[in-house]
Amino acid sequence: HAGNLIEIGGVYYWVEPQPDKFRVFKIINRD
């Protein structure tokens, strides 16, 4: 599927490529 899950400083982001831009979703990691 299209999209990449990346982790920056313990915070996870889901990056979804779009035709003209990138959509970024912030995912809060709850343990």
pLDDT bucket at 3, cuts 50 / 70 / 90? confident
Average pLDDT for 13-23: 87
pLDDT bucket at 24, cuts 50 / 70 / 90? confident
Where in the chain are the domains?
Answer: 1-31
Question: In terms of pTM, does the model score above 0.75?
Answer: no
Q: Is the pLDDT of residue 31 over 80?
A: no
Residue 27 contacts residue 13 (beta carbons within 8 Å): yes
Q: Is the pLDDT of residue 29 over 80?
A: no
